[in-house]
Structure 1
Amino acid sequence: MRSMKHRTLTGLGVLALTAGGFAAVSGHSAAQAADRNGKCEKGEFCYNFNSDLKGAWSDFTSSVGDYGTTQPSCYDFKGKAKGHGKCIKNDAGGFWNKTNKPVTIYFNSGYAGRSVTVKPGAKGKLPAAVYNNNASHRIGKGGGGGHNPAPSGKWASPVPSSAVITARAYYSSGRYHGAVDYSGFNGKFRSACNGTIDSIAINRTYANRNAYGVTGSTNYLWVNCGGGIRMGYAHWYAKDLPSSLKRGTKVKAGQNLVNVGNQGNSSGQHLHFQVERSGKQIDGHDFLQSKGVKGLPRE
């Protein structure tokens, strides 16, 4: 991930993990791909691009608190009908609830703002309150709706507010990055959610040194936040990993994790912060903003 600056920056580390480097840690499972096939099937809640339900479909088996707003990281309409490929946020005209539970559709991300609840089996044009203003949905009263545990509801900034954003989902060149890079700070980065460490990947060849330009050389720590949300932290040195942090360790939002580093495919000290929702990369900074997190670095 090579960081392209959003604003003039001198003497701050910037990153270099290529898009190809994400392949090993991201992507849909076969089951998830079947869930998102552009067909509204039994057990799913679906949006349609058109109010008459003749457009492209976007189908879900679980609740989603943030649809995303840009390709390729957003939830989109599938198939070949009108609207296919468009991000669904604030662009759905119709719906079909083929689950056996009520579904609440929200005006804002994070299950917030005005909302409308539709009964099992209901279909048609989205109610006026959320017509072309759909930003999240919750299946059932508890909102889980799928095989993932419900989110903890507690989030935090992974870095000090004084940190600088040096890259987002796309570099200024237009090349896909798939994460947020935070530079300009020292010390430990923090867990951005309550969750459980489910993966620690250390590249033994470059565990404690830089490998700029070498794809797949970067150390990663992943936290499962529940509700399909996973958060990845990269470029720390293996020597700085506390012995208390291992697979299965529970962490709390705001808890210190590892010292920020310049390990692996990186061109300067920074945190590569990667967030996935149901296996699909989303903008982590936008996600935390949607959760009302305070103390995030400003653009």
Structure 2
Amino acid sequence: MRTFNKFLTAATAAAALGGAVLATASPAMAAGRNGVCDSGEFCYYFNSNTQGSVSDFTGSIADYGAKQPSCYDFKGAGNGKGICVKNNAASVWNRSSSTVRVYYNSRYGGHYQDFGPGARGNLDSTLKNQNASHQFLGNNPPPSGQTAMSWALYQTGGGRISCGFDGYTSTPGRHEGIDISRSFNSQVHALVSGQIINVVWGHTGSGGLSTIAVYNASLGRTIIYLHSAPLGSLRTGQWINKGQYIANESYRGVSSVNGEHTHVEMRMGRTTLAAKSVNDWHLDNPNPTSFWISQGYSVR
């Protein structure tokens, strides 16, 4: 178990920088992230046996960030307060109703350990002080053999989740979908079958947001794809099948020429537009992990 001396060393080093005040605000500024392990949350503890400072979460995080002021940090009172969560947690308490999986690597990769609803305990010897991401899986872990979303979207390897649901680390607001990226002009395929209810072609650069909204009545869900370049043949009212080629990866509505990615968003009911994420601190969409698992995907 680490002692408070480690924290004092970090604080002393900060004081040596001319007395500058370091920002300690976490990027996820929802009311729930208050350093208290409330009902419905998954919580990391700085020390073993659920001791020390707490960092509490309500959704999956693909990358915690590695340094202040942009990292997710320990917010509760006690040893470790203000230190980044990545590679610094020793124990957890899962107060959510979902199984939560802790990963060794960012973006849900490498060795992992599952914690069922209500479970509390120490991270295993591989993950202790080596935690890099966590994922809400629903009430049951995904069965082996499921297809990674990042593979299914492109129907080939090389894709990765670049930002998970509610996973902003430096962008203000709360992320309503899952960002998946591979490379400019990669073919994008539908993850769920349904009827197209909205197509906006947009253009590259800021202000040119593209949209493909696909409604599946039997599931009662709309899947929305943003930032890609929709095929010119797409039409409102058209039925598309799961796995069908629908777009090419682009950066439509994104200011950076290196910002190509596809935002995939699961919305309840029939709706033609994505929920607002940037500069909006209210989540309109539920955590989609259990839905994607039900469709045969692992969120990675």
TM range (shorter): 0.3 to 0.5
- Where relative contact order (Cα < 8 A, 6+ residues apart) is larger, the structure is 1
TM-score when normalising by structure 2: 0.46
TM-score when normalising by structure 1: 0.46
